[in-house]
Structure 1
Amino acid sequence: MATRKAVLPRSSISVTLGICQLLMPLLGWAVGISFADLVQSVDHWVAFILFSLIGGSMVRNALSSRDDDPAVAKRTSWLALLSTAVATSIDASAVGVGLAMADIDIAVVATLVGLVTFAMAFGGVLLGRAVGPVLGRRPELVGGLGLVAIGTKILLDHMDV
């Protein structure tokens, strides 16, 4: 009997991404007020490592032909979701650092970013579930390669290469 991979509810995906996008500018803002010089010296390495690890994992999963045990898939799905949410909101923390130097209401900005992210993620999950059976694992492969490329670009931009 074939096992079915556990699927996270679209609301939990949207909420997790939205909350991370809401919290990271706040975190970046708080850190920016305190440690702006220190954070700017390592943020590109952190982004590069996280994007590469998550993107590499997506590429590996896309190229894998094995079906996961449902219990392992459920744990992995939550871990992958949280890792992806944090990695894709690293840039929002960098924006928060920049906003610490400006006269901005960080609570309003962070709330708007979180709400927009929630709405876009919810729509993206609906679209993905509709076209996913047709496209198979190709979007995961492209997404993983895209994350690695984004991480590499961030690193190269900060190294002035």
Structure 2
Amino acid sequence: MLETSAGLGQLIAILIMAAALGMDAFSLGIGIGMKGIRLLHVLKISALIGIFHILMPLLGMYAGQYMSSLLGQVADYVAGGLLILLGVHMVFGSFKSGEDRVIDHRSLLGMLLFALSVSVDSFSVGLSLGMFQSNLVFTVLAFGIIGGAMSVMGLLLGRRASRNLGDYGEALGGVILLAFGLAFIF
């Protein structure tokens, strides 16, 4: 029974982290959506974000597993520290002007750069998770599906919402990652 509750706890933690990482795509998607976006572009951008939210944590997890074998017990503190730094970065980044961060979404290069920019955080989280034992397939699929879904929601909401909601969404995602980082350390 204890093993089942621990597994359920890990499942919930991964889903919450996936949602926190998706906040970046959601909040920046609102900014792009406010500039005007066609539904076809919503699908293309969201699919790319989903793919990058799978690839980046996957790469991070493999690197994290390697680092864990090198660092041993210190790995928990390194992983927690990375999540704390990432969370703080997301919180402070939410206060930046949205115009400075939104790139042209109409070109293939623009879509790729946007998807990469909102997925880089997933690499860091994957690096942290790679230092622990987690279900690899479930984790990367959860990150990809939730990241893609949140970008769809952000892009569509951006077509009819105010810009301030996006800033709060990114800040909330940063606070969640910061809390998980502290939980890993303590």
| TM-score bucket (shorter structure) | 0.5 to 0.7
The correspondence for 2:95, drawn from 55, 59, 62, is 59
SS in 1 for 2:89: helix
Moved more, 124-133 or 5-14: 5-14
TM-score (normalizing by structure 1): 0.64
**2:76 matched residue in structure 1:** 40
The correspondence for 1:129, drawn from 137, 146, 155, is 155
Alignment CA distance shift 1:33-1:55 (3 Å): same
The correspondence for 1:93, drawn from 119, 127, 151, is 127
Letter in 2 for 1:14: G
TM-score (normalizing by structure 2): 0.57
Unaligned runs of 5+ in 2: 1-34
C-alpha contact 1:26 1:110 (8 A) present in aligned 2: no
Structure 1 runs, 4 residues or longer, greater than 4 Å off: 4-8, 74-81
Matches within 5 A, 1:12-161: 12-61=48-97, 67=99, 73-74=103-104, 81-82=115-116, 84-99=118-133, 109-157=135-183, 160=186
**1:102 matched residue in structure 2:** none
C-alpha contact 2:83 2:128 (8 A) present in aligned 1: no
RMSD of aligned Cα (Å): 3.5
Q: 1:19, CA displacement in angstroms?
A: 0.8
Q: How many residues align?
A: 143
Larger radius of gyration: 1
Letter in 1 for 2:96: R
TM-superposition CA deviations, 1:70-123 (whole Å, max 9, x none): xx8349986675454232453433332222xxxxxx8xx423432332222222
Unaligned runs of 5+ in 1: 100-105
Q: Percent identity?
A: 14
| Distance in 2 of aligned mates of 1:139 and 1:116 | 24
Q: 1:37, CA displacement in angstroms?
A: 2.4
Q: 1:48, CA displacement in angstroms?
A: 1.7
TM-superposition CA deviations, 1:108-152 (whole Å, max 9, x none): x42343233222222222222222222222332222221332244
C-alpha contact 1:54 1:147 (8 A) present in aligned 2: yes
Q: 1:61, CA displacement in angstroms?
A: 2.6
Q: 1:155, CA displacement in angstroms?
A: 4.8
| Distance in 1 of aligned mates of 2:57 and 2:92 | 22
